[in-house]
Amino acid sequence: MLMPAGVLVVLLLGAIAFDMSLVFLRQRQASSLATDVANDLATAAFDEGAFRRDGAFQLDPTRAAELGTDLVAVSDLSDLIVDVEVAVVGPDEVTVRVVVRVDYVFARAVPGASDGTTVTAAATAIASPG
Amino acid sequence: MTARCRGDAGQVGGIEALPFGLLIFVVGSLLIANAWAVVDAKFATDAAARQAVRTFVEGDDPDLALADARAAGLDAVEAHGRDPGRAVVRPVGEATLERCSRVTFEAEYEVPALSLPFIGGYGRAPFRVRSAHSELVDPFRSGVPGEAEACV
């Protein structure tokens, strides 16, 4: 009886390792996405009207939110996005937080195991002259 | 005296399940290994697409940016321990180094699929693992054509 049980245990552990690597992959993808969107928004959401009025560099929160949502929607992960938050946290600083769904491959076959999980990644970009 | 291990008296019934279990184990291990190869390749293509697009949007010379981006993408594949000869890094649509233009690069890597007993094929073999990444060319950077007003 030990042999079949051992085989099943090893296969189950392999399946868990695979699903966890998938979670890690999505985490890295979410991190890359958040970083790149924040990097884009740090200049693309520049409030030119305010700059012409008072000469100060300032990001437009409304534009940042719209543009951030658009950029995430056209990304490779768009089908898996659960939530996107874009926050202008300073005149030249923007933070992007994305929540991505991860669908397990093997764990779904295990009774009682969840079908997936979510991963969150956040990134902040600061515009600087140069 | 009676010789030991003669005859099958006392043999455990169902011992033939052992080789079958071993076969299931080998097939399952190969299935997981092949699935892992796809995930591992996805790591490499993600990095390659991201490096390519970053190199392109940070480039100074529009003529060289495309070649530099491709080279950076293939370098990323190689850095992940994969064969760059089996990878393709290319822009999606026309990649133009202009202010505010959206640039998308795609990286593709071919992973051979194992043909396994019981399970058979996975569908279309080999697997083509593909990742895409896009970024905007900085609207306020110097040295590129175009108007920042076009971004609005």
Q: Is residue B14 included in any domain, yes or no?
A: no
Q: Which residue of A has its CA nearest to B42?
A: A25
pTM across the whole model: 0.83
Inside any domain, residue B91:
yes
Q: Is residue B71 part of a domain?
A: yes
**A73 at interface of B, judged by CB pairs closer than 8 A:** no
What string of pLDDT tens digits covers the 130 residues of chain A? Answer: 677 777 788 888 888 889 999 999 999 999 999 999 999 999 899 988 888 888 888 999 999 999 999 999 989 899 999 999 999 999 999 999 999 999 998 888 888 888 899 999 999 999 987 6
Chain B CB within 8 Å of residue A40 CB: yes
Tell me the helices (H) and strands (E) count for chain B, helix number first.
2, 3
Report the residue from A22, A43, A74 with minimal CB separation from B39.
Answer: A22
What per-residue confidence (pLDDT) applies to B92? 93
Any idea where the domains of chain A sit in the sequence?
A: 2-126
User: Domain containing B74: what range?
Assistant: 22-151
- What pLDDT shows up at residue A27? 95
Residues of B in contact with A25 (CB under 8 A): 39, 42-43, 46
Yes or no, beta carbons of A21 and B39 under 8 Å apart: yes
- Give domain status of residue B105, yes or no: yes
Overall domain count for chain B:
1
pLDDT at A128: 84
B12 located within any domain: no
SS3 of A26, please?
helix
Global ipTM:
0.80
Residue B89 lies in a domain: yes
How many whole angstroms separate alpha carbon B22 and alpha carbon B28? Answer: 10
Taking 50 as the pLDDT cut, the residues of chain B under it are none
B135 touches chain A (CB under 8 A): yes
Distance CA B110, CA B133 (A): 18
Contact A22 B135 (CB under 8 A): no
